[in-house]
Amino acid sequence: MNVRLRFAPSPTGVLHVGGVRTAIYNYLYARRMGGKFLLRIEDTDPERSKEEWIKVITEGLSWLGIKWDDEIVFQSKRISVYHKYAQKLLKEGKAYYCVCTEEELEEEKKIQRLQKKHLKYSRKCLNRSKEEIEELVKKEGRKKAIRFLVPEGQTEFKDIIHGKIKFKNEEIEDFIILRSDGSPTYNLACVIDDHEMGITHVIRGDDHIPNTPKQILLYRAFGWKEPEFAHLPMILGPDRKKLSKRHGATGVLEFKEQGFLPEALFNFLVLLGWSPKDNREIISKEEMIKIFDIRDCRKSASIFDRQKLLWMNSEYIKMKDINELLKASLPFLRMEKWWKEEFERDLEYLKKTIELTRERAKVLKDIPYLIEYFYKEDFGYDIEAIERYFADSRVFEGLEEIKSEFENVDEWSQTNIEKVIRNVADKMDVKHAFLIHPLRLAMTGRKVGPSLFALMELLGKERCIERIRRVIRELWGYVPGKTDIKKD
């Protein structure tokens, strides 16, 4: 079968993670089946639909590498089509005009509430004669909406994820398909478009389950074949409440700003509701396209675990092609006050600093901090480390010795650097760590970081010697807790 799927967001706000996961599942299934993945913008509400939100959607999808096929379908450009089909239903007696005012409808509901009845339109206008309706239009200036006449019986469908779902039609009111201002409602526009776009599978959030019987009734009224439906369970916060801003769950582009890699977010979101048979967690998009099946999706809600996302992102940072990682890191570096344009002249050096430190990055935003000391000479020293590693004055003797030995090193390599340091420690009869820790502080100002020898090689001989000089100058005679020293 030639499958056709679509993602149909309403451009009324940021593209949040729930929406993106829906897009991803549609995309993956379409690719898996060798079908099409289409994008439809449901912008029929002129009050709430905004151009900027459309941009957020297309940018968000593009950033995640979710490519749609064909032209984007905009519902706002298809209003006449919806009118044509609404008229068709009207002519066939499957829909009827309604001129009830807000007040009338409110009054009805009030009575139903008092009688503890199911709230449902009374079909007042179905029982009004044509003349009566026209008179209300003429005399009172009322506007005509069109309601769908829900037939008797029951409507059921087999949801791919949830199985059989049944609705009694008597519980469904004659819903409006065309508002009195001429705008179509979601259910009408959605059915017409899904039909005209040849959609074979509708994958969407399970908040739409109550809409599905209405849509099925419309398909049947038009005499069209309905697509298969798969309703995805919700994504919840760690407190099992609906995911919201409170949880730091934000629009997809905010993840970009926070330094997440698109492939990591993609991978993470796919696993919120689906997992491969072998329960692996790091899976490339290409592989997912080979194995993803909407039929294997879980019925229960998934929890959005930010820690796991951070872990996954760090894994992707470790794996990423270094040239690409460099490119992705640049915007974050450029945001730093200390970053200078001239640093970008030596991209090879920059690449090496990233290569050396990427293991410690959870998000791209960590990278500037991680490589800062490769560019700055006037960094501060970690106070705790000073107190820990410089309390014994023999450290300074060791550093002096290392410094002079370094002067004689011709080939500045990790191995030679290491040799010097270990020899000096052995000569002094101290543990190697006795000198390695203070050296790390001298080189980076920090307690932890990548391999000391590797980072010293990269810094180069002159800078290493100068940094040893500086640490001796600044810390010599320092009594922990008494002397004022430079801090970050």
Closer CB to ligand GLU, 188 or 421, in the complex: 188
Quote the CA–CA distance of 196 and 434 in Å, as a whole number.
75
Q: What are the tokens at 102?
A: 């807000």
Closer CB to ligand GLU, 10 or 76, in the complex: 10
Beta-strand ranges (E) seen in 269-409 are 302-303
The stretch among 6-14, 328-336, 342-350, 409-417 that binds ligand GLU (CB under 6 A) is 6-14
Quote the CA–CA distance of 243 and 264 in Å, as a whole number.
19
Asked if 42 touches ligand GLU (CB under 6 A), the answer is: yes
Query: Please, what is the minimum distance in Å from the beta carbon of residue 338 to ligand GLU?
Result: 43
Q: How many helices and strands in the chain, by DSSP H and E?
A: 20, 12
Query: Please, what is the minimum distance in Å from the beta carbon of residue 386 to ligand GLU?
Result: 56
Query: Please, what is the minimum distance in Å from the beta carbon of residue 190 to ligand GLU?
Result: 5
The stretch among 7-15, 177-185, 303-311, 422-430 that binds ligand GLU (CB under 6 A) is 7-15
8, 350, 386, 395: which one contacts ligand GLU (CB under 6 A)? Answer: 8
Pick the catalytic residue from 84, 158, 245, 427: 245
The number of angstroms, rounded, from the C-alpha of 20 to the middle of its chain's C-alpha atoms is 6
Size, binding site for ligand GLU by CB under 6 A = 7
Neighbour tally for 473: CB within 10 Å: 8
Question: For residue 64, which of 256, 223, 296 has the smallest C-alpha distance?
Answer: 256
Query: Please, what is the minimum distance in Å from the beta carbon of residue 253 to ligand GLU?
Result: 17
Q: Assign 272 to helix, strand or coil.
A: coil
Phi and psi angles of residue 440, each rounded to the nearest 5 degrees, phi first: -60, -40
Closer CB to ligand GLU, 74 or 369, in the complex: 74
Number of residues that this document lists for the chain: 488
Beta-strand ranges (E) seen in 140-279 are 145-148, 154-159, 163-168, 176-178, 201-205, 228-232, 235-236
**DSSP structure class, residue 173:** -
Closer CB to ligand GLU, 272 or 452, in the complex: 272
The stretch among 3-11, 170-178, 217-225, 289-297 that binds ligand GLU (CB under 6 A) is 3-11
Place of tokens 């089509």: 81
**DSSP structure class, residue 116:** T
Query: Please, what is the minimum distance in Å from the beta carbon of residue 202 to ligand GLU?
Result: 6
Q: What are the tokens at 204?
A: 């969407």
Query: Please, what is the minimum distance in Å from the beta carbon of residue 42 to ligand GLU?
Result: 4
245 has catalytic annotation: yes
Asked if 10 touches ligand GLU (CB under 6 A), the answer is: yes
Question: For residue 477, which of 416, 395, 403, 413 has the smallest C-alpha distance?
Answer: 395
Asked if 193 touches ligand GLU (CB under 6 A), the answer is: no
Helix 452-459 vs helix 414-428: angle between axes, to the nearest 10 degrees? 120
Query: Please, what is the minimum distance in Å from the beta carbon of residue 445 to ligand GLU?
Result: 50
Asked if 195 touches ligand GLU (CB under 6 A), the answer is: no
Question: For residue 93, which of 173, 176, 149, 172 has the smallest C-alpha distance?
Answer: 149
3, 4, 5, 9: which one contacts ligand GLU (CB under 6 A)? Answer: 9
Asked if 262 touches ligand GLU (CB under 6 A), the answer is: no
123, 143, 162, 208: which one contacts ligand GLU (CB under 6 A)? Answer: 208
Any idea which residues carry the catalytic annotation? 245
Residues forming the site for ligand GLU (CB under 6 A): 8-10, 42, 190, 204, 208
